[in-house]
Structure 1
Amino acid sequence: MLKTCAKHLTNNYGTMRCLSMQPSHMNIFDRNAKRLQKERAALNTDVALYDYLKEEVGFRLSDRVFDIKREFKTAADIGCNRGYISKHILAECVEHLTLTDTSASMLEQAQGTPGLRMSKLVQDEEQLDFEENSMDLIISSLSLHWVNDLPGCFARIKRSLKPDGVFIASLFGGDTLYELRSSLQLAELERKGGIAPHVSPFTQIRDIGSLLNRAGFTMLTIDTDEIVIGYPSMFELMWDLKGMAENNAAFNRPAHLSRETLMAASAIYKELYSKPNEEGVPATFQIIYLVGWKPGPNQPQPLPRGTADVSLKDLGNIFEKGGKIKIDAES
């Protein structure tokens, strides 16, 4: 009886130990494959032809940095690619900018504005190694959607920021390339009787706020934008995605896509999504923009509960009279 109990306890201990060693996230993306894709794209002689989307999003994200009326002494651009943010950041706004990326070739091609002090570091976004409380600003443009451990990445970013530091980023949202995804699925279902993941999964906007809150960020701002780009056909879209290094990098991606499935998908794409009497097909890119602040002593704080002048139900009457009030959200 004692031997049986001891064996049972030993087995339970071994089980609990194995469970404790399980990773807290699922590895969906092959980070090494993504690094190789970026290297191949960077070494392409016409790499600049495929910068149009990332250039536009980088410019829009840089504009959000300018909206913060503060001079940042230390900043980092993680997953900088070919420097789509650094070429818009002014020296008057950021004193020193650290660029990081997994691709050494892309990192080498990144340039900054005149007078901007920069340093470059080959580093994976999943393994950030900045000193604690060392950064005033961390930026990332269209890179974090390839990170497996997004909660851990957000936590490391918050750790690297100084108190009252800010994190500003953009990433592709869940509706990105829904036309391509559905066309490939319908074609493969028709030709093969099943579907495979030919387009990588993207983060849903409803999850971003929860992940930022979980990491400890405050004063969150999250919004989305849609950029619709026209292509002559589905094949030009897929070619451009490869040139951007945005082709599929999921571990379970199929190694081959048959010619007949591609031709069927192209026909379905045109039939379902092209506008009448117009050539070409549209492709939708949903961009999620986020801003989060590390808690600090100088940040605005909510008023103590119970200090309101009126109830929320009286807001309509107050606004009609043009009055100034304090609001109690619990009223």
Structure 2
Amino acid sequence: MTPPPGPFDRNLLARRRARAAATVHRVAPLLDAAAHLLLDRLDDTTRQFDTALEVGGRGAVAPLLAARGIGFVVSSDLAPAMAARAGGVAVAADEEWLPFAAASFDLVVASLSLHMVNDLPGALLQIRRVLRPDGLFLATMPGFGTLQPLREALTAVESDLRGGAAPRVAPFATLQDAAGLLQRAGFALPVADLDRLDIAWRTPLGLLDDLRAAGEQAALVARDRRTPPRALFGAALARLAGAGGPIAAPLPLLVLTGWAPAPDQPKPARPGSATIRLADALGVEEQSGGETADPRRTRP
């Protein structure tokens, strides 16, 4: 049986990314900022990485990995032209079906590239499969609230014009979604946390231009294929502009970290196996239930 389609039209997304390969340099500052934010997490480990796969880095991630001394970096993307932007080993690949042997890489990095995957649990399983034992997975994804001002403006204006609104901005995952997906994919020591890039555009049109330049228009299967009302985008942009000034559209980032399981990794302690009381470890007097702690009773 053919599986039901997901929310995203992956063929349309691939075509848009192919076209965006010639224009994505216009949003290089944003991509570079996101890549640096993610790769700073490598400073938290003493693990040395020799081989890395970047998934959809659009040319921003692979050079930074090479600069960190990783000798072999493969860049993959749905669009061959986008994968080739990194200048090294390039592979056209679907995130949901990575064409690499098991245990091929020490490190897999996905910077702003997994948010329009239909089978995200499957993609994470694919990533875990290509990691060697004790290999590291790092990713950022736009989180819930991304492009919220644009979503609200388009919805309000189209509702006024048509009495209803079509989906025109992609859905985004929450922090709880990300944490659950890492656990479901079987990563060891999974961590999902939230960061943010503060971004503003001089004009609403600049925001739309940058989305097109990066190939980030919403490639939704359920998109409205009718010609939009002539006044829709003009009125929505005017609503975004408001009283003038920069258009603030902060980018909430879900940061995902997980390790491929390995026998010698640290394991959580067994419940009840503690050999010291928490109060002693913290240097305070133990309080019974319902008793209010008095800071004057805390031992130095």
TM-score interval (norm. to shorter): 0.7 to 0.9
Using the size of structure 2 for normalisation, the TM-score is 0.88
- Distance in 2 (CA, whole Å) between partners of 1:225 and 1:98 is 26
1:15-54 matches, cutoff 5 A = 21=1, 23=3, 26-44=5-23, 47-54=24-31
| More relative contact order, 1 or 2 (CA 8 Å, 6+ apart) | 2
Cα offsets for 1:190-243 (capped at 9, x unmatched): 111001111111122110111110111121222212223222332221111101
User: How far 1:56 sits from its partner (Å)?
Assistant: 0.9
Aligned-residue sequence identity (percent) comes to: 35
Give a deviation string over 1:270-328, Cα, whole Å, max 9, x none: 33xx6xxx623211211111100111122112233322234557757169547xxxxxx
Q: Which residue in the other structure is 2:293 paired with?
A: none
Q: 2:66 aligns with which of 90, 97, 107?
A: 90
Tell me which of 229, 238, 241 is aligned to 2:199. Answer: 229
Matched, 1:308 2:284: no
Q: Which residue of 2 aligns with 1:102?
A: 78
2:133 aligns to what SS in structure 1? strand
* 1:113-146 deviation line (CA, Å, top 9, x unaligned): xxxxx42211111111221122211111111001
Q: Deviations over 1:168-199 (max 9, x none)?
A: 01111111000100111011111110011111
Structure 2 gaps of 5+ residues are 287-297
What is the alpha-carbon distance in structure 2 between the residues aligned to residue 234 and residue 30 of structure 1? Answer: 26
Structure 1 stretches of 4+ with a deviation exceeding 6 A read none
8 Å contact from structure 2 (residues 66, 73) kept in 1: no
CA deviations 1:77-125 (Å, max 9, x no partner) are 11232x21112123554221111111111222213xxxxxx42211111
Work out the CA distance in 2 between the residues paired with 1:257 and 1:321.
Answer: 69
2:167 aligned partner: 197
SS in structure 2 at match of 1:200: coil
Tell me, yes or no, if structure 1 residue 263 matches structure 2 residue 234: yes
Instruction: Decide whether the 8 Å contact of 2:49 with 2:106 is kept in 1.
Output: yes
1:268 to partner: Cα distance: 2.4
Moved more, 230-239 or 301-310: 301-310
Partner-residue secondary structure (3-state), 1:296? coil
Equivalent position to 1:72, from 49, 55, 77? 49
CA contact (8 A) 1:26 1:149 kept: no
Residues 270 and 313 of structure 1, relative CA distance in 2, 3 Å threshold: farther
Contact 2:115 2:142 (8 Å CA) reproduced: yes
SS class of match (2:166): coil
Larger radius of gyration: 1
Q: Equivalent residue for 1:146?
A: 116
Q: 1:159 aligns to what?
A: 129
- 2:35 pairs with 1:58: yes
RMSD (Å), alpha carbons: 2.2
Larger % of helix: which? 1
Q: Contact 2:75 / 2:84 at 8 angstroms: preserved in 1?
A: no
In the alignment, is the contact (CA less than 8 A) between 1:77 and 1:138 conserved in 2? yes
8 Å contact from structure 1 (residues 168, 289) kept in 2: yes
* Partner secondary structure for residue 216 of structure 2: coil
Distance in structure 2 (CA, Å) of the matches to 1:189 and 1:53: 32
Q: Residue 257 of structure 2 corresponds to which residue in structure 1?
A: 291
Aligned to 2:157: 187
